[in-house]
Amino acid sequence: MIFPCIDLMGGKVVQLVQGRTKALEADSPEEMLRRFVAFPQIQVIDLDAAMGVGENAQLVESIAEKAVCRIGGGVRTATRASRLIDQGAHRVIVGTSAFTHDGINTALLDNIAAAVTPGRVVIALDSRNGHIVVKGWTETTTLTAEAVVAQLEPYCSGFLCTYVDKEGMLQGTDLEWFRRLRGATSHEITAAGGISTLADVQALRAMQIHAALGMAIYTGRLSLDDLAALQ
């Protein structure tokens, strides 16, 4: 499956490079939903909530009313996860709060899984230089995705695995990393970060890995028609 991405900041749809520098502002969420209508699900990230500088709750709810969405950004409590489900999220994405500096935050993940069920949870494994990064990719943990992915399986039904080294740069992704992850878990995997060609998407599909696409779509590097034909 291909997940077109809608990232929200300050009430607008944006794309960032390396999670920091705003590269572009896109059309309204309603227009992006119209463009993404051929795709069965989309991915929505509230960047303001993720960074702890506000939230875009009304926009998130509006999008979730119109499309099947996996939604993340600032999911630090079971209450937040439940709220997103109540707002219409099909699944919630848990990132930073799933980890401590050198381990897994099992207490929080237990609470979230109990509140919304593991089937509604996706855990984000954002990795740079081989290690999981958190807090808007500003802090590096001692953990590797390959080492912890199996331990996280009881708390979720899938993983969003971002190759941060090339996120937003349109320079290709690390297919070997994704291949190692595929061998480490039987859960659903969605790849993100640097995916910029149909060959990348097809290679991931051959591994039974989904793709979440942002910059390549918004810049026209990848055609929505071509991607829809792969669904």
Q: In Å, how far are 120, 125, 139, 171, 208 from 193, measured between CA atoms?
A: 23, 12, 18, 9, 17
* Three-class secondary structure assignment of the chain: CEEEEEEEECCEEEEEECCCEEEEECCCHHHHHHHCCCCCCEEEEEHHHHHCCCCCHHHHHHHHHHCCEEEECCCCCHHHHHHHHHCCCCEEEECHHHECCCCECHHHHHHHHHHHCHHHEEEEEEEECCEEEECCCCEECCCCHHHHHHHHHHHCCEEEEEEHHHCCCCCCCCHHHHHHHHHHCCCEEEEECCCCCHHHHHHHHHCCCEEEECHHHHCCCCCHHHHHCCC
Of 48, 126, 165, 225, which is the active-site residue?
Answer: 126
> What was the pLDDT predicted at 169?
64
> What was the pLDDT predicted at 102?
78
Task: Grade residue 166 by pLDDT with cuts at 50, 70 and 90.
Answer: confident
Is 7 annotated as catalytic? Answer: yes
pTM value is: 0.94
Residues 46 and 10 sit within 8 Å (Cβ to Cβ): no
Please compute the mean of the pLDDT values over residues 144-166 and round it to a whole number: 95
Of 7, 46, 48, 200, which is the active-site residue?
Answer: 7
| CATH assignment of 2-228, among 3.40.50.2300, 3.20.20.70, 3.40.50.620, 3.10.20.520 | 3.20.20.70
> What was the pLDDT predicted at 164?
87
Is 48 annotated as catalytic? Answer: no
> What was the pLDDT predicted at 127?
93
Q: Residues 194-225: pLDDT tens digits? A: 999 999 999 999 999 999 999 999 999 999 99
> What was the pLDDT predicted at 223?
95
Q: Residues 8-53: pLDDT tens digits? A: 999 999 998 776 778 788 899 999 999 999 999 999 999 999 888 8
